[in-house]
Structure 1
Amino acid sequence: MSDVQGFLNLDKPKGWTSHDCVARVRRLLHLKRVGHAGTLDPAATGVLPVALGRATRLLQFLSSEKAYRAVIRFGVTTATDDLEGEVLTERSPSDLTRERVEAVLPEFLGKIEQKPPHYSAIHVGGKRLYERARRGEVVEVPTRTVEVFGLEVLGWRPGKFPELEVAIACGTGTYIRSIARDWGEKVETGATLAGLVRTRSSGFSLENSVAIADLETQVKAGSFVPCDPSAALMHLDAIGLPGEEGKRWCQGQRIPVSGTVDTVLRVYDEEGQFLGIGRIMEGEKTVLAPQVVLHGF
């Protein structure tokens, strides 16, 4: 299947790293060029967009929107801010109520300052935080601005260690583990992330995702068909090029167009075939320059 190109909407299983998923897909499809968008922690499940073949060049143009279903457990804190890490504190918050927990919800909406977990893949001082944490290094983790577009309470489970289930829509770089940790700090009980499912990422949704086992079945049956490369790019505006212009564009030439400079567009030929990604640039004239060409003439 070396000629495969497009996207796979994979439902990442629990316990697998995103790299594990890419390696399995590469072996199943006999492809060298396989990549993914939006890393998921091993303990998390859900949507992992996987690019196949030349579509790997489109990963940089995917939308950054993501959505999750998360379970936050109060009364427990851990080194990793989820249940995978060493328990640091454990005290049953017997007086914690749903009303008290929901009262701080607005503080996590909009643009917020967030400190990533000590066990995360971001670089500080040239090394990934989780590498430094494993060595026992004490590192001051810098805060950064992230954006949460929506936050909805789905359920409340009282008990010795009560749990809140929430739906979260957010932008790139948002750590749900950090939201869980910070929520616990705001209600003064401590908290950690007890479960996480990514329900949407870069235009792909969980209900249309494919499990690893189902992918294996489809490949063996010869019925696997990847998502069209342009399916993940519908957030971008589109432009159509008539025959000769489309041919010249695919050959690397810049085509005079009108439009706003630096706008990224999906490019189609006159028959509606997706050709690739172009960017409007300014020179002697405003032109559409090829960024990624997927089809030639």
Structure 2
Amino acid sequence: MARKKGREIHGWLIVDKPAGVGSTDVVSKVRWALDAKKAGHAGTLDPDATGVLAIALGEATKTVPILTDALKAYDFTVNWGAETSSDDASGEVVKTSDVRPTEAAIRAALSGFIGDIMQVPPSVSAVRVDGARAYDLAREGEVVELAARPLWVESLELLATTEHTADLRMVCGKGGYVRSIARDLGRSLGCLGHVDHLRRIWSGPFGAEDGIAFDRIDRANQVEIEAALLPLQSALVDLPQMQATEIGEIRILNGNPGQVLGHAEFGAEVWVSRNDRALCIGRYMGGEVQPSRVFNLG
């Protein structure tokens, strides 16, 4: 008997992820609740983290790289005085310090974490080492030395502070680890630190206000979930939009360069639509777009 493949559903569902649930678990539950054929997410959140988790359904999965590269914002609390094995409150304390930073010292240190920085991911992370996930190796007791990676930090600001904690907001690019920021900030201040609470407040064009609560994701609430779906092109707002001609639409849907109307720099990545229907992402070649990802929306 052939396995049921699921329904063709296209678009984005923004979930307000609670603590204690893995990102892949959220994707699986969304796919099950909607009986969707295909689903994926655009940026992992740690199990203990909360906030915006953008779930792509169907053809929207072809836009995931666009959202993955977009800026994201996080609110988080750093606890001073201890460094942990996971760089957050779930790990074992490995070092302690009686030093506590002043507000002035924290503000002065933040400038060293803005702009182009190099960041070593937490040892308990999804980074692959010789084909294995770092967190799996850590669970097996292996000591993993992870290489530093570049990260763009748009901004890092202090929101509030107490003697033992600091509340911060960071806007950063792809591949940012808030836990690493907390660890490295604590080291730079000589007091050590780890993340206590972490919440992603927005990811690209999607904010927490767009999110549906995780506990509402159930087949009994399928109509409510579908009403919360955002169109595929919601993830493409940072790309120039082009309008295909009638002949251009036919050619683009067949994977060929197609005539478009609109303005963009030659060679720029754009997205193309016709009659409010998204057709593709591609390169503008002066009057035509060469598609790189074509949307088969039926």
Q: Is TM (by shorter chain) over 0.5? A: yes
**Out of 47, 55, 62, which is 2:52 matched to?**
47
Counterpart amino acid of residue 91 in structure 2:
G
Match of 1:290 in 2: 291
Tell me the secondary structure at the aligned position of residue 104 of structure 2. helix
- Alignment map for 1:20-35 (pairs within 5 Å): 20-35=25-40
**By how many angstroms is 1:276 displaced?**
2.5
Out of 247-256 and 101-110, give the one that drifted further: 247-256
Alignment match, 1:272? 276
Correspondent of 2:87 among 76, 81, 84 = 81
Please state how far the C-alpha of 1:210 moved relative to its aligned partner.
1.2
Residues in 2 aligned to 1:220 and 1:112: alpha-carbon distance in whole angstroms: 45
1:245 matched to 2:248? The reply is yes
Cα distance in 2 between the residues matched to 1:165 and 1:274: 40
SS of the equivalent of 1:249 reads helix
Q: 2:212 aligns with which of 203, 210, 213?
A: 210
1:224 aligns to 2:224 (yes or no): no
Output the amino acid matched with 2:149: R
Displacement of 1:139 in angstroms is 2.6
User: d(CA) in 2 for partners of 1:17 and 1:41?
Assistant: 7
> 1:163 matched to which residue of 2?
165
Provide the C-alpha distance between the structure 1 equivalents of 2:224 and 2:175, rounded to a whole number of angstroms: 38
Instruction: For residue 174 of structure 1, report the CA deviation from its aligned partner.
Output: 1.1
Q: Secondary structure at the match of 2:191?
A: coil
What are structure 1's unaligned runs of at least 5 residues? none
Residues in 2 aligned to 1:77 and 1:41: alpha-carbon distance in whole angstroms: 18
Could you say if the C-alpha distance between residues 232 and 296 of structure 1 is closer, same or farther in structure 2, counting changes exceeding 3 Å?
A: closer
CA distance in 1, matches of 2:54, 2:38: 14
Q: Say which is worse superposed, 59-68 or 46-55, in terms of deviation.
A: 59-68
Q: Give the root-mean-square deviation of aligned CA atoms.
A: 2.2
Q: Match of 1:233?
A: 236
Using the aligned pairs only, state the percent identity: 35
Q: Is residue 2:70 matched to residue 1:64?
A: yes
- The Cα offsets for residues 102-155 of structure 1, whole Å up to 9 and x where unpaired, read as 221101111111111111111223322222222222232211111110111111
Aligned residues: 289
> In the aligned structure 2, how far is the partner of 1:169 from the partner of 1:190?
22
Match of 2:203 among 189, 201, 204: 201
Amino acid at match of 1:238: Q
Task: Report the CA distance between 1:223 and its aligned residue.
Answer: 5.6
Shift of 1:295: 4.8
Superimposed CA distance per residue, residues 232-276 of structure 1 (whole angstroms, 9 cap, x where no aligned partner): 11000111012222122212222256865542211011x333222
Question: Is the contact made by 1:218 and 1:224 (CA closer than 8 Å) also made in structure 2?
Answer: no
Deviates more, 1:225-234 or 1:244-253: 244-253
Take 2:248 and 2:124, find their aligned partners in 1: how far apart are those partners?
A: 50
Secondary structure of the residue aligned to 2:215 is helix
The answer to whether 1:176 aligns with 2:181 is no
The residue matched to 2:227 in structure 1 has which SS? coil
CA distance 1:279–1:197, change in 2 (3 Å): same
Question: In the superposition, relative to structure 1, how do residues 222 and 96 fare at CA in structure 2: closer, same or farther (>3 Å)?
Answer: closer
Unaligned segments of structure 2, at least 5 residues: 1-5
